[in-house]
């Protein structure tokens, strides 16, 4: 129970006061400031129980594993197993989606998803909505809207899950893009991730390198060659993070992701001189404004950067045993540098392990990492970095489907707050009433989620892949819990309070869920709870927990449509707050 136990342990003492206070006084919310609006009858007792569930230790659950022909798993599977797979492969699925996939091959579904066109361009959507008007030049307006439009409304479910994962590996944040039209810079970056999500990682690296968003965020836009007279040197920020975060990491790795040791100590991958040598490659790059007149329009942020010859370092560049000869032109030097990094033996296990963490589990076995890394190194046709093959390998790996791991306390991952919110929204077909997806920035930890896409506070993402929550069961077992870096008393309370409003369609922009599939079950509390637990928690909620929730829901009135709606909303909130849901198995 280590992953589940860590949630209450993380709050060491103080959370107990909150939980007991809720039990003694169900009318309290977890937010110290009560909402100004009156609370409906279902909300306060449901929220009290939700707070307790969100901080409670969790138990087991789960169904039988299954599969499909090419991967070695049977052609059909139970709804529970299918919901489990969909939780790994998408940002959320409806009951109808789960039922349909339970009767077909996973390989067929993946092929269909790989072939689906990407959600329409973020840049095009911003322009169509009028965000290219002068009044938005120094604004972030529109960015959150188009993110939620794709994550919640996009039909390319697998692609959007991978886009979210990639955005947390090759990180940019609107908070660090200090420019005009920053919403367009980030929208263009998302378009790049969408276009390359199932492409080749090497091409993705080049494309993101040349985006204005990355140029601003990691400060190499306008980067100038060394000046012997002043002693100035090229900015090293991007060179360092490209190696540390996007390609090879800090220590040398075995093919299975375990560290290479020398005299019992990990061996570093690069040194300071490698950073300074590589930084010379990233000189002279700046915005493409050809054909534009000042003040420049949004299009300046939606083109790959180009070279300014006078700023480029033409001399030799040496790093990691690679030498780019004197006089090599900037574009060729860039490609030679990226080729060298891409060929490094660390890239398959370093990137592969992070993708496993984002999709399936925080602590994959070395064997799992090794199998995925092998596919990254060679997709079976001699191609390195084929993300389509890598994603398929991650999702169809036996370890991802092994039913025995449902009982393994070291298995699984904490669902990110954004993932939980979008999962609910997609599961119940939430739509934007006005078509503008006016949900906004959800970064506030006290009243919202404490996380919002493309709004990380640093290039190290919202959490580090190797983060270990201190003084927890995870720490004592040598396990990591990346998403726990976002977890504290404020974010736990903020999540429950925010989802209380979301499921009731109150004060979450123009988002409107569709609970039509749940209405026939609303008068039967056990059936209603079982259905929601299947769709959201993949049937992994123990019968005892379901019974506790069903008892609370059954005590609510069921005479009018409003009563039934309240029952549905209470059930959803309680399941969304349960450890069996918050920990993805």
Please report which helix (H) or strand (E) contains residue 563, including its range: helix 561-576
* Strand intervals (E) in 142-205: none
pLDDT digit string, tens, across residues 284-309:
999 999 999 999 999 999 999 999 99
Please tell me the predicted confidence (pLDDT) of residue 51. Answer: 58
Residues in the chain: 585
Lowest-confidence region among 24-33, 109-118, 474-483? 24-33
pLDDT digit string, tens, across residues 230-239:
999 999 999 9
C-alpha to C-alpha distance for 267 and 272, rounded to whole angstroms: 15
C-alpha to C-alpha distance for 445 and 530, rounded to whole angstroms: 30
Question: Could you tell me which of 329, 234, 248 has the C-alpha nearest to residue 282?
Answer: 234
Task: Evaluate the omega torsion of the peptide bond into residue 295 and state whether it is cis, within 30 degrees of 0.
Answer: yes
Please tell me the predicted confidence (pLDDT) of residue 367. Answer: 98
Please tell me the predicted confidence (pLDDT) of residue 433. Answer: 87
CB 211 within 8 A of CB 304: yes
CB 221 within 8 A of CB 287: yes
The residue among 14 and 383 whose pLDDT is bigger is: 383
Look-up: residue for tokens 């005479």? Answer: 559
Mean pLDDT across the stretch 455-475?
Answer: 95
Q: What is the DSSP-derived secondary structure letter of residue 132?
A: T
Dihedral sign computed on CA atoms, order 181, 308, 216, 330: positive
Give the long-range contacts of residues 463-467, CB within 8 A, separation 24 or more: 465/353, 465/354, 465/357
Vertex 407 angle, CA 401 and 412, to 5°: 60
pLDDT digit string, tens, across residues 33-61:
333 333 444 555 555 566 555 544 333 33
- Residue 252: how many CB atoms within 10 A of its CB? 18
Q: CA-CA distances (angstroms) from residue 439 to 83, 144, 187, 567?
A: 26, 7, 16, 25
Please tell me the predicted confidence (pLDDT) of residue 69. Answer: 53
Question: Could you tell me which of 112, 110, 164, 157 has the C-alpha nearest to residue 389?
Answer: 110
Mean pLDDT across the stretch 345-354?
Answer: 98
pLDDT tier at 242, thresholds 50, 70, 90: very high
CA 521 to chain CA mean position, Å: 32
Mean pLDDT across the stretch 438-460?
Answer: 97
pLDDT digit string, tens, across residues 180-220:
999 999 999 999 999 999 999 999 999 999 999 999 999 99
CB 303 within 8 A of CB 288: yes
> Left (φ > 0), alpha (ψ -120 to 50) or beta: where does 219 sit?
left
């Amino acid at each position: 129970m280590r992953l589940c136990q860590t949630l209450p342990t993380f709050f060491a003492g103080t959370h107990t006061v909150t939980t007991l206070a809720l039990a003694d006084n169900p009318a309290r919310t977890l937010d110290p400031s009560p909402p100004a609006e009156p609370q409906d009858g279902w909300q306060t007792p449901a929220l009290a129980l939700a707070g307790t569930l969100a901080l409670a230790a969790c138990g087991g659950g789960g169904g039988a594993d299954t599969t499909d022909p090419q991967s070695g798993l049977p052609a059909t599977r139970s709804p529970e197993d299918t919901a489990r797979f969909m939780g790994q492969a998408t940002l959320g699925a409806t009951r109808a989606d789960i039922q349909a996939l339970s009767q077909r091959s996973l390989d067929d579904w993946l092929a269909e998803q790989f072939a689906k066109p990407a959600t329409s361009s973020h840049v095009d959507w911003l322009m169509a909505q009028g965000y290219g008007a002068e009044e938005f030049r120094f604004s972030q307006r529109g960015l959150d809207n188009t993110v939620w439009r794709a994550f919640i409304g996009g039909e390319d479910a697998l692609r959007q899950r991978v886009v979210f994962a990639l955005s947390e590996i090759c990180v940019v944040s609107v908070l660090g893009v200090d420019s005009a039209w920053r919403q367009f810079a980030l929208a263009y970056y998302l378009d790049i991730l969408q276009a390359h999500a199932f492409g080749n990682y090497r091409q993705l690296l080049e494309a993101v390198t040349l985006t204005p968003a990355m140029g601003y965020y990691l400060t190499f836009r306008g980067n100038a060659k060394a000046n012997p007279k002043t002693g100035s040197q090229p900015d090293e920020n991007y060179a360092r993070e490209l190696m540390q975060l996007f390609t090879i990491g800090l220590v040398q790795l075995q093919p299975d992701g375990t560290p290479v040791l020398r005299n019992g100590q990990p061996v570093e991958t690069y040194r300071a001189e490698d950073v300074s040598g590589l930084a010379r490659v990233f000189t002279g790059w700046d915005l493409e404004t050809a054909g534009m007149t000042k003040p420049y329009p949004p299009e300046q942020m939606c083109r790959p950067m180009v070279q300014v010859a006078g700023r480029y370092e033409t001399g030799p560049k040496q790093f990691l045993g690679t030498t780019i000869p004197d006089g090599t032109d900037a574009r060729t030097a860039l490609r030679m540098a990226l080729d060298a990094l891409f060929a490094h033996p660390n890239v398959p296990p370093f990137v592969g392990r992070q993708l496993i963490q984002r999709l399936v589990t925080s602590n994959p076995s070395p064997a799992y990492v090794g199998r995925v890394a092998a596919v990254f190194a060679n997709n079976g046709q001699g191609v390195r970095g084929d993300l389509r093959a890598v994603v398929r390998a991650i999702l169809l790996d036996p370890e991802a489907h092994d039913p025995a791991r449902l009982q393994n306390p070291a298995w699984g991952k904490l669902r990110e707050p954004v993932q939980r919110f979008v999962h609910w929204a997609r599961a119940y077909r939430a739509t934007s009433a006005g078509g503008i997806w006016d949900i906004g920035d959800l970064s506030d930890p006290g009243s919202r989620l404490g996380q919002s896409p493309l709004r990380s506070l640093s290039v190290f993402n919202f959490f580090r892949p190797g983060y270990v929550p201190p003084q927890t069961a995870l720490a004592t077992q040598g396990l990591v819990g990346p998403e726990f870096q976002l977890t504290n008393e404020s974010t736990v309370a903020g999540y429950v309070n925010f989802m209380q409003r979301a499921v009731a369609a109150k004060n979450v922009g123009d988002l409107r869920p569709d609970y039509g599939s749940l209405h026939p079950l609303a008068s039967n509390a056990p059936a209603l709870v079982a259905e929601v637990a299947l769709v959201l928690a993949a049937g992994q909620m123990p019968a005892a927990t379901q019974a506790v929730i069903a008892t609370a829901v059954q005590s609510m009135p069921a005479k009018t449509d409003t009563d039934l709606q309240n029952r549905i909303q209470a059930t959803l909130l309680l399941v969304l707050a349960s450890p069996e849901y918050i920990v993805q198995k």
